Amino acid sequence: MSPSWLFPIAQYEQGFTTAGWEGGFQNITHVPLADKPLGVHKSGGQLPHNVVFPPPPLAVADGETPPQLAWESFFPQGSINPAGDIKGGFGFYVTGPPGFAARLETATEALFSYKVMFEDGFEWVKGGKLPGAFGGVGDASYRCSGGRQDDRCKCFSLRLMWRANGRGEIYSYIPLNQTNEDRMLEIPLSHKNPDFGFSVGRGAFSFPKGVWTTVAERVKLNTIGQADGEVELWINGTSIITVKGLILREDATSHIKGAHFQTFFGGKSSDWAAPKDLRAWFADISGAIIH
């Protein structure tokens, strides 16, 4: 894995990473894979994100050094979404080190990235959620999921999702207006979900089993009163999805908060549930302020 897969941008002000590589990028602070240095908060107490030694991947790209430490996500058989009787995965928010988090409050463009590996033999079923950027106005930014319809103008959530057969997408909650609907649906393979936001670029890429995938997501806030916001997704250093002309905020107090580090099977109904005990690992947590 080239370090540029985590930072696939030409310019940035500052950043952080838990990746173990040295050199190559200026103004990138190395931080340990631990809650306090990464600004982890609002963590679900019943859903641990233990730091473990992940299993070796089935394949390694030329020049790649697999992560030595990772957050492990455990999906017990029958687990489904955070409100289910059997709980699996994990959920919390990452703002980065203190200096990075403080700069986010005035930043208009930022990037968040990580690596994910699903165990060999992972069963995709109908799908599940994966981490992505989030933001909004104050505490409203933490409530932009789960089918929420109220105050959608005050938040945005840009998590990823895996679908059947490992097909990937951006699973977005953004302000509800015709401009955003038009821009999202211009992207091939995109769908408007009746209650749950937009599935953007469904199947534009796929997650493999047993090897690491590097995810990087860029968010650019719109100028207030204009539709010039942007979202871009890279997979293993290749830009896969780019959406321009968005209205991600209507209020100047709305800003990029960080990454919503959440993963679970679902959907809500039992046909989305994990069919057996399964695991995935997350590593090389990174972020950058672009502007």
- Please report whether residue 7 resides in a domain: no
Q: What is the CATH number of the domain that holds 118?
A: 2.60.120.200
**92 is in which domain, residue-wise?**
43-58+67-289
In angstroms, the CA 149 to CA 85 distance is 24
Q: What is the dihedral of CA 21, 25, 28, 30, to 10 degrees?
A: 10
Evaluate whether residue 137 is within a structural domain. yes
**pLDDT tens-place values along the chain, 291 residues long:** 466 899 999 899 999 999 986 556 789 999 999 999 999 999 976 899 999 999 999 999 877 789 999 999 999 999 998 888 999 999 999 999 999 999 999 999 999 999 999 999 999 999 999 999 999 999 999 988 665 555 667 899 999 999 999 999 999 999 999 999 999 999 999 999 877 789 999 999 999 999 999 999 999 999 999 999 999 999 999 999 999 999 999 999 999 999 999 999 998 899 999 999 999 999 999 999 999
Q: Is 209 part of any domain?
A: yes
E strands, 34-84, in order: 51-52, 70-75
Residue 32 resides in a domain: no
Q: Nearest 10 degrees: CA dihedral of 164, 115, 78, 194?
A: -50
- Its pTM stands at 0.95
Answer whether 108's CB lies under 8 Å from 70's CB: no
pLDDT at residue 150 in the model: 59
262 and 88 Cβ atoms separated by less than 8 Å: no
Domain-located, residue 28:
no
- Three-state DSSP at 166 gives helix
Confidence at residue 1, expressed as pLDDT on a 0 to 100 scale? 47
For the chain, how many structural domains are there in total? 1
Q: Is residue 131, in this structure, part of any structural domain at all?
A: yes
Among 35, 56, 50, smallest CA distance to 117 is for 56
Considering just the CA atoms, what is the radius of gyration of the chain in Å? 18
Would residue 181 count as lying in a domain? Answer: yes
Is 262 part of a structural domain of the chain? yes
